[in-house]
Chain A
Amino acid sequence: MGKPLFDSLEIRQFRAFDYIKIDQLGHINLFLGKNNVGKSTLLEALCLHANLGSPQTIQWILDGRDEPGEVRHGNTADPTVWSLFHGHPALERITESIQIGRVGAPDSALSLSIAWLRKTSDMDASGGFGDGSGYGGGVQPGQQYVEVGPPEATDGEGPIPALIVKYGSMRRVLRLDEAFDDLCRRWNLQTRSHRDLATPCVHVGPGGLDDAGLRSLWEKVVLTDAKMDVIDAMRIIAPETEDFALLHLHERVSSLRLRVKDREDSVPIKTMGDGMNRLFGLGMALACAKGGILLVDEIENGIHWSVLPEVWKFVVKVAKRLEVQVFATTHSNDCLKAFQMGTKGDPDVDGVAVRIEKKNGEFSAEIFDEKRLAVIVKEAIEIR
C-alpha cells in the first residue's frame, strides 16, 4: 500500500483544539481517549480538510453539534461559523486562523480565517472609506470588495464578515452575510482544478449512515464491483446474505432490502439488528471512499465483540485494495484488541492506534504502532 494521505496531523485553533500534533499515522488508524477529549473533532477536522473547507462540510459540522450554520445579515445574530474557532470567540475578535494539515508541511494545510469586507462602491474619492478604517486603496478593476479591519462598533452598517478558505493555490471567500445554501451552490461552481484538490471522504457517525447518506452512497455502489464488498461486509454476521437493493416504496421513502438465501421475499435490513446495519454502513462507506479517507465514529457500535476481528480484517482487506485511509474512534477494549489482530496480518498495511489526552490544558497524542500494540494486547495493558 502506498504512503497514506495523512502520515501525520497537526491542527490549530479548531474547535476544542488550540493545538494538537499527531506525529505518526498509518493506513488504518484508531483514535482512543476519554469522553469529550476530541476524538470526533479529529474526524471533523479530517473531513473538513478532505472537502477543502466547503460550506457543505462546515454546515454538516455545525448541524452535528446543534449549531445550525445559519447566518443573518447585519449584526442581528452572530454567524455561528465562529464556533468552529477554538474558544468560540466573537467573530470580530477572531484573529488566528484554523489550520489543518500534516506535521511540518505548511503546504498541506487547509486554512480558515475571518476577514472583513467593504464594498468598493462605498469608498470616497480618495480611495479610502473616510471613516478612519485606515484603508488606503489598492483596489483592482472590477473588484467589488476590499478587506478592512474588524468593526470597531457593533451597531450600524459595518463591514461584512467573511470566511477565507485557503489550500495551496486555492483561495475562496465565503461571505457570511449570505445564506449557507447560496454559499454551497456557489462553492459547487468552482473551477475543475480546485475541485480536483478535494479528497473522497465518507463519514459514518456513531449511529451509522442516515437515509440521505445511504441514498447518495447507493448511487455510487449500484452496478459496480464495490457492491460485492458491501455484501461481503454483511456476510461477516449473516453469511446467508446474497444481494441488496434500495427500493423506492413511495416518493421520498426508500427501504433497503436484502435477498437472503432460501427466502423468496426480500427482507428489510432494518429488521436485522444493529450489527447488520453497522456492517452495511461500513461496507458502503468503504466502497465509496476509494482513493480517499473513511471516517467512522465509534466503530464498534452495534457489533458483537466476537466478530470485531473479522470486521477489522475486512476493513484492512478492502481499504488496501481501494487505497482508502481509515480513521475510526472507539471506547472499547475489545475493539482495540480486534484492531491489533486485524492489522497485524498484513505487512503492507500499517495500523496505528492514537490515544488523545488532555493534561494541564494541553492536548497530546500517544502513538501505538503495531509493535507496541502487540505488547499491549498480549499483556492486557490498559491504554484507553
Chain B
Amino acid sequence: MMVNRLIFEGPDDKHVVMNLLFNHEHNGERLCEHFSEKVKDGVDHLIDTLNEELKATDLGRLGVVLDADTDLAKQWARGTRVLDEHGCRAVPAAPNADGTIVETNDSKKIGIWVMPDNKSAGALEDFVGKLIAEGDTLWPKAQADVNGIPQADRRFKETYLSKAQIHTWLAWQEEPGTRMGETFKKKYLDPNHPQATAFVNWIRRLLA
C-alpha cells in the first residue's frame, strides 16, 4: 500500500502542522488523515536520511518541512542536492513562495516547504508568529518585552529570539503552558489565516 508521508525536523513542527491539517478537509477527509508523519532528530538527520526516504517502496507523495534558520539559500541547497541526486526533475534554484513541488523521475510528487514562508530566514516559531491575528494586543507586547531584555541577561541564543517571543505570548494565553500544536484547538490561532492557507494549499497541491 502506498503511503503519503510528511517529514519533519522535530516533534514541534509535526504537532503544529498536523493540528493545522486537522482543521482542513480533502475529499471528505481531514487533511491530516491523508498522511503518515515521520519526525527526525533535527535538520542534519532529516537531510542525511532523505535519500533513503525518497527510495522507500511504499512512498506515495512526500512532503518535507524544513526550517530556513539563518540562511535560507544554504538550507535550500542542502535539501535540494539530495533531490537532484535522486533524479528529481526541474528542482528550482530557490524555493517557490507558495511552497515547492517537484517530481521524481518516476513521477512521484515531492513537496518542500521552508519555514516560515519559503522566503524569509526563521523557523517554525516565525510561522506560528505570522498566524497571530492582526490587532492582537499581547503579541507586540510579548515581542517588545523579550526584545527589551538586556543582552547580558538573555539566556537564549540570538537565533532563538522568535522562539522566546512565541512562548512568552503563549504563556499569557488563557491556559499558560499551551503547546504550539494545540493553539488551533484552543482557538488562539486561526487555521484559516492567509499564512496558514498558503501552507494548506501547498499540501493540497501535493495531493492533487
Residues of B within 8 A of A382 (CB): 56-59
B145 beta carbon closer than 8 Å to chain A: no
Contact among A355, A366, A379, A384 for B49, CB-based, below 8 A: A379
Residues of A within 8 A of B49 (CB): 375, 379, 381
Interface size on A, residues (CB 8 A): 10
Closest Cβ of chain B to A367, distance in Å, is 12
B98 beta carbon closer than 8 Å to chain A: no
A376 near B58 (CB under 8 angstroms)? Answer: no
Q: Within A350-384, which residues are at the interface with B (CB < 8 Å)?
A: 355, 366, 372, 375-376, 379, 381-384
Closest Cβ of chain A to B8, distance in Å, is 13
Contact among A355, A381, A384 for B52, CB-based, below 8 A: A381
Closest Cβ of chain A to B142, distance in Å, is 37
CA distance A375 to B55 in the complex (A): 12
CA distance A379 to B51 in the complex (A): 12
B52 near A375 (CB under 8 angstroms)? Answer: yes
CA distance A382 to B56 in the complex (A): 5
Residues of A within 8 A of B103 (CB): none
B55 near A383 (CB under 8 angstroms)? Answer: yes
- Name the residue among B56, B58, B59 with the largest chain A CB count within 10 angstroms: B56
In the complex, which range does the number of interface residues on chain B fall in?
A: 10 to 19
CA distance A366 to B59 in the complex (A): 16
CA distance A381 to B5 in the complex (A): 11
B57 near A379 (CB under 8 angstroms)? Answer: no
CA distance A375 to B49 in the complex (A): 7
B190 beta carbon closer than 8 Å to chain A: no
Residues of A within 8 A of B37 (CB): none
CB 8 Å contact bits of B40-71 with A (1 = contact, 0 = none): 00000000110011011111000000000000
Identify the closest chain B residue to A375 (Cβ).
B52
A383 near B53 (CB under 8 angstroms)? Answer: no
Q: Within B81-139, which residues are at the interface with A (CB < 8 Å)?
A: none
Residues of B within 8 A of A366 (CB): 55
B52 near A376 (CB under 8 angstroms)? Answer: yes
CA distance A375 to B46 in the complex (A): 11
Residues of A within 8 A of B59 (CB): 382
CA distance A355 to B57 in the complex (A): 10
Q: Within A53-79, which residues are at the interface with B (CB < 8 Å)?
A: none
Residues of B within 8 A of A376 (CB): 52
CA distance A372 to B58 in the complex (A): 17
Identify the closest chain B residue to A383 (Cβ).
B57
A384 near B57 (CB under 8 angstroms)? Answer: yes
Identify the closest chain B residue to A355 (Cβ).
B57
CA distance A375 to B38 in the complex (A): 14
Closest Cβ of chain A to B143, distance in Å, is 38
Residues of A within 8 A of B53 (CB): 379, 381
Identify the closest chain A residue to B54 (Cβ).
A381
Identify the closest chain A residue to B45 (Cβ).
A379
B52 near A372 (CB under 8 angstroms)? Answer: yes
Identify the closest chain B residue to A384 (Cβ).
B57
CA distance A382 to B3 in the complex (A): 10
Closest Cβ of chain A to B39, distance in Å, is 11
CB 8 Å contact bits of B15-54 with A (1 = contact, 0 = none): 0000000000000000000000010000000001100110
Residues of A within 8 A of B38 (CB): 379
CA distance A372 to B56 in the complex (A): 12
Residues of B within 8 A of A383 (CB): 55-57
Q: Within B151-166, which residues are at the interface with A (CB < 8 Å)?
A: none
Closest Cβ of chain B to A152, distance in Å, is 47
8 CB-based A-B contacts, threshold 8 Å: A372-B52, A375-B48, A379-B49, A379-B52, A381-B55, A382-B58, A383-B55, A383-B56
Q: With A375-B52, A381-B56 given, can you name 14 additional A-B contacts, CB distance below 8 Å?
A: A355-B57, A366-B55, A372-B52, A375-B48, A375-B49, A376-B52, A379-B38, A379-B52, A381-B49, A382-B56, A382-B57, A382-B58, A383-B56, A383-B57
Q: Kindly list the 8 A-B residue pairs having the minimum CB-CB distance in the complex, ordered from nearest.
A: A382-B58, A381-B56, A382-B56, A381-B52, A379-B49, A382-B57, A375-B52, A375-B49
